Amino acid sequence: MTAVETIPGADPARVALALDLQNHGQGFHDQVLQDCRARGVGALLLLRNPRETLPENTAAFTAVVDQVCRVWRDTSLPAGARSSGHTIYLSGPVSIAVALGARLAAADQGRWTALSYDTTTGSYTPFPEP
């Protein structure tokens, strides 16, 4: 089972799901962790692809979406986290991001904020922009 990382001093009921689909490694983790602290997110579930790229085909994209949704559903989260707001940090193909957003948001309408890294500002911004 995937472990949830606790972020000291933040709200443990606010959970972030971070997808390192391009295997950026520690740099991705550190950027997400810093942003979680700034947003008061107290728990982080980081999922990582072991390779730098994903095959660009329907089977791979469907498998990623199914696997991420299954891990999110099956992971034990802190008390209150299932009824609180969630944040998802996206990296990788836009089609996966859109599919995940649609699948996760449909189940918990109004509870998800999707963020994408803006290389110009060096920060995470809402995706799509409000």
The amino acid at residue 30 is D
Average pLDDT score, the chain = 83
Based on the structure, what is the number of domains in the chain?
1
The pLDDT of residue 16 is: 93
- Report which of residues 96 and 40 the model is more confident about: 40
Q: In angstroms, rounded to a whole number, what is the distance separating the alpha carbons of residues 7 and 36?
A: 8
pTM score:
0.82
Range of the domain at 85: 5-126
Name, in order, each residue with C-beta under 8 angstroms of 12's C-beta and a sequence gap of 6 or more: 6, 42, 43, 78, 79, 80, 81
CATH number at residue 23: 3.40.50
The pLDDT of residue 109 is: 65
Least confident window among 49-63, 69-83, 94-108: 94-108
| pLDDT band (50, 70, 90) for residue 93 | low
The pLDDT of residue 129 is: 65
